[in-house]
């Protein structure tokens, strides 16, 4: 089984465009290769298509044209159950956590296994013992041991995002997408969540594609920065290469840089 | 800027006109229906005599009352069970945020049909179609249950948070698993609430359908009325009140268990 595209990239985006309205492209031909290891942060002003780009990968948003190669398949061409099988391999962490509020932490984690379990077994909560075992281990790992039976709506923002990360890891994914994972959190919790994300991704060797507002946070945790502006990539390189001039190019204006 | 352009609230001329028309109609309809004080005073006298003849209630035929009551309860429980079971998928199909347009509109059409007639009218139709007895009553109340639960259930689903659904879908879960983990947990308490409310209604309605021959306590009640046996009527009414009260207590308990 080939886990990666021929040239060794885990994810290969080629000429991706998206138009919500005809003639008004949000993404204008994005091409990116994501390495099998490490964290890639996409930064850029609001409305520049960062979320759209990430959501095109697991097809929560339908791309207009282009190709997305992942584990030997072009994700943009998948339909029905083939798409489901591909989604199982891609974990996602959301800005507003998107936990099922009325379910327990354990049930939320097991949501990560729903692609592997028949509806009848899911309805009866009959998950394989190995899945439950793994869920308890991941709860330890994200620092929520003992929270299994708490309902998700009783947790704080930081705790919820830890559940969100654990849920994504439950899938044993080959790629982790994170859509503004810290934008609803305070600065201290944001740092904690970013270090947790980096740590678990490293331990499980999963590449992470994350988009974020916070340039400093991105520089601190990412191995690679992709700067987007107007639906196109305008910077792609290490955090150290991110100068005021490039930031100006990404965000425009300059008073905020002083 | 002129004062007229700086009005803090925009007046709604149409709403004002609507209220005016409504008030006029109420006065007109009231005058048309021979609604006089004299009739009301006379009526009080009749009522007093009527209640006088009800006392004391006559429980002599208690076994007939018990039999009718049992049948009414059976109608209510079976109709509620079947109605709730069928409402779940129909309500789901009728939710416009989860289903393609043609599916939800067909389901909505069916629900509207179930709601179109009062259960007693539906019971008359079923009595004609499948004969006298409890089965006609059960069928009538199943349709009534679908009309109520499925409609409110669909509306509850249309108000859920799609973010939670999106997250479950993103894990590669199939359609039914998305429903079980992403949708149902969000609406289950409300569904339980609608169902227990409809169970209450069904208990009350099951005492009615007997009047048109669809089984239950309604038939003896109707007969007692026609023979002017008002003390028997009183006994039956008291039994109905007791059963409805117990049903309400049970519903409340069920709602509490499910956190509805």
Question: pLDDT (tens digit, 9 = 90+) per residue, A93-104?
Answer: 999 999 999 999
* Banded model confidence at residue A66, pLDDT cuts 50, 70, 90: very high
Beta carbons of B186 and A101 less than 8 Å apart:
yes
**Tokens coding A18:** 């998206």
Q: Which residues of A touch B186 (CB under 8 A)?
A: 100-102
One digit per residue, pLDDT tens: chain B, 260 residues? 555 567 777 778 888 999 999 999 998 888 887 777 888 888 888 888 888 887 888 777 788 888 888 888 888 899 999 999 999 999 999 999 999 999 999 999 999 998 988 888 888 898 888 888 888 888 989 999 999 999 999 999 999 999 999 999 999 999 999 999 999 999 998 898 898 889 888 988 888 888 887 778 888 888 888 888 888 888 888 888 988 888 889 888 888 887 65
Q: What is the pLDDT of residues A209-251, one digit of tens each?
A: 999 988 999 999 999 999 999 889 999 999 998 888 888 888 8
How many CA within 13 A on the CB side of residue A213? 11
**Tokens coding B3:** 């004062």
Q: How far apart are CA A169 and CA A112, in angstroms?
A: 8
Residue B57 DSSP label: P
- Can you give the pLDDT at residue A256? 64
- Can you give the pLDDT at residue A5? 44
**Tokens coding B204:** 């009350």
pLDDT(A172) > 90: yes
* A–B CB contacts, 8 A cutoff, strictly below: 87
Q: How far apart are CA B215 and CA B54, in angstroms?
A: 24
Distance from the B196 Cα atom to the nearest Cα atom in chain A, whole angstroms: 20
Burial A159-179 (b: 16+ CB within 10 A, else e): bbbbbbbbbbbbbebbbbbbb
Distance from the B173 Cα atom to the nearest Cα atom in chain A, whole angstroms: 4
Distance from the A257 Cα atom to the nearest Cα atom in chain B, whole angstroms: 34
Burial B223-235 (b: 16+ CB within 10 A, else e): ebeeeebbbbbbb
Q: Which residues of B touch A111 (CB under 8 A)?
A: 167-168, 171, 173, 181-182
Q: How many CB atoms lie within 10 A of CB A243?
A: 10
- B177 touching chain A per CB within 8 A: yes
> Is there a contact between A198 and A112 (Cβ–Cβ < 8 Å)?
no
Q: How many CB atoms lie within 10 A of CB A48?
A: 23
Angle between helices B184-206 and B151-158 in degrees, nearest 10: 160
- Can you give the pLDDT at residue A254? 64
- A42 touching chain B per CB within 8 A: no
Residue A29 DSSP label: E
Distance from the B260 Cα atom to the nearest Cα atom in chain A, whole angstroms: 12
* Banded model confidence at residue A4, pLDDT cuts 50, 70, 90: very low
Query: Pairing between strand A11-21 and A24-34?
Result: antiparallel
Q: What percent of chain A has pLDDT over 70?
A: 95
Beta carbons of A123 and B180 less than 8 Å apart:
yes
| pTM score over 0.90 | no
Give the C-alpha distances (Å, rounded to integers) separating B115 from A39, B27, B157, B159, B208: 56, 30, 19, 22, 17
Three-state secondary structure call for residue B182: helix
What mean pLDDT is reported for chain A?
90
Q: Which residues of B touch A100 (CB under 8 A)?
A: 164, 167-168, 181-182, 185-186
Q: What is the pLDDT of residues A67-112, one digit of tens each?
A: 999 998 999 999 889 999 999 999 999 999 999 999 999 999 999 9
* Banded model confidence at residue A1, pLDDT cuts 50, 70, 90: very low
The residue ranges of DSSP E strands in B63-154, in sequence order, are none
Q: Which residue of B lies nearest to A167 if distances are taken between CA atoms?
A: B171
**ipTM, interface predicted TM-score of the complex:** 0.90
Beta carbons of B168 and A114 less than 8 Å apart:
yes
Q: What percent of chain A has pLDDT over 90?
A: 78
Residue A44 DSSP label: -
pLDDT(A258) > 70: no
Q: Which residues of A touch B188 (CB under 8 A)?
A: 102
Beta carbons of B172 and A94 less than 8 Å apart:
no
Beta carbons of B164 and A100 less than 8 Å apart:
yes
- Can you give the pLDDT at residue A122? 92
> Is there a contact between A249 and A232 (Cβ–Cβ < 8 Å)?
no
Q: How far apart are CA A98 and CA A41, in angstroms?
A: 21
Residue of A105, A110, A114 to mutate for B, most B C-beta atoms under 10 A: A114
Q: How many CB atoms lie within 10 A of CB A209?
A: 25
**Tokens coding B248:** 């309400």
Q: How far apart are CA A239 and CA B199, in angstroms?
A: 64
Of B15, B48, B76, B105, which is closest to residue B251 (Cα–Cα)? Answer: B76
If you search the block for the tokens 């069916």, which residue do you land on? B110
**Domains annotated on chain B, with CATH:** 7-52 (no CATH), 61-257 (1.10.3720.10)
Residue B259 DSSP label: T
Give the C-alpha distances (Å, rounded to integers) separating B77 from A228, B81, B171, B226: 62, 6, 40, 29
Cis peptide before B56 (omega within 30 of 0): yes
Sequence-ordered list of residues with C-beta below 8 angstroms from that of A153, at least 6 positions apart, any chain: A101, A102
DSSP-based helix, strand, coil % in chain A, nearest 5: 40, 25, 35
Helix (H) or strand (E) holding A67: strand A65-70
Sequence-ordered list of residues with C-beta below 8 angstroms from that of A258, at least 6 positions apart, any chain: none
């Amino acid at each position: 089984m080939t886990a990666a595209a021929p040239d060794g990239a885990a994810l290969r985006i080629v000429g991706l465009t998206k138009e919500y309205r005809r003639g008004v492209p949000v993404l204008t031909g994005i091409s990116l290769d994501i390495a099998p290891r490490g964290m890639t942060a996409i930064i850029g002003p609001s409305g520049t298509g960062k979320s759209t780009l990430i959501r095109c990968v697991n097809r929560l948003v339908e791309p207009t044209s282009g190709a997305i190669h992942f584990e030997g398949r072009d994700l943009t061409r998948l339909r029905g159950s083939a798409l489901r099988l591909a989604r199982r391999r891609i974990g996602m962490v959301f800005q507003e956590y998107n936990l099922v509020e009325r379910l327990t932490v354990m049930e939320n984690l097991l949501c990560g296994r729903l692609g592997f379990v028949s509806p009848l077994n899911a309805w009866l909560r009959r998950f394989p013992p190995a899945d439950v075992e793994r869920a308890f281990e991941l709860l330890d790992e994200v620092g929520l041991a003992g929270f299994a039976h708490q309902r998700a709506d009783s947790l704080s923002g930081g705790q919820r995002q830890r559940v969100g990360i654990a849920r994504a890891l439950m899938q044993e994914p080959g790629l982790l997408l994170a859509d503004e994972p810290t934008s609803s959190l305070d600065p201290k919790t944001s740092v904690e969540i970013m270090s947790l994300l980096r740590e678990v991704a490293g331990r499980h060797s999963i590449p992470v594609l994350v988009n974020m507002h916070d340039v400093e946070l991105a520089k601190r945790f990412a191995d690679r920065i992709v700067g987007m502006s107007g639906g196109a990539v305008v910077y792609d390189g290490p955090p150290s290469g991110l100068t005021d001039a490039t930031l100006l190019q990404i965000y425009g204006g300059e008073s905020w840089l002083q | 800027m002129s004062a007229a352009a700086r009005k803090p609230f925009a007046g709604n001329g149409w709403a004002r006109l609507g209220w005016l028309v409504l008030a006029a109609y109420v006065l007109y309809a009231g005058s048309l229906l021979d609604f006089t004080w004299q009739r009301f005073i006379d009526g009080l006298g009749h009522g007093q005599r009527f209640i006088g003849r009800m006392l004391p209630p006559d429980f002599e035929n208690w076994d007939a009352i018990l039999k009718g009551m049992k049948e009414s309860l059976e109608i209510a429980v079976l109709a509620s069970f079947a109605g709730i079971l069928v409402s779940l998928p129909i309500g789901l199909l009728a939710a416009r945020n989860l289903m393609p347009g043609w599916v939800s509109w067909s389901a909505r059409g069916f629900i509207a049909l179930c709601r179109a007639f009062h259960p007693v009218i539906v019971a008359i139709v079923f009595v004609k179609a499948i004969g006298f007895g409890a089965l006609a009553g059960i069928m009538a109340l199943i349709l009534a249950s679908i009309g109520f639960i499925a409609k409110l259930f669909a509306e509850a689903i249309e108000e859920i948070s799609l973010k939670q659904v999106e997250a479950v879908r993103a894990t590669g879960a199939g359609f039914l698993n998305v429903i079980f983990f992403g949708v149902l947990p969000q609406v289950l308490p409300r569904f339980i609430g609608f169902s227990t409310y409809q169970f209450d209604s069904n208990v009350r309605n099951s005492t009615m359908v007997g009047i048109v021959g669809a089984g239950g306590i309604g038939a003896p009640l109707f007969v007692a009325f026609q023979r002017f046996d008002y003390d028997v009527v009183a006994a039956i009414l008291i039994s109905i009140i007791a059963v409805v009260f117990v049903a309400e207590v049970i519903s409340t308990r069920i709602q509490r268990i499910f956190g509805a």
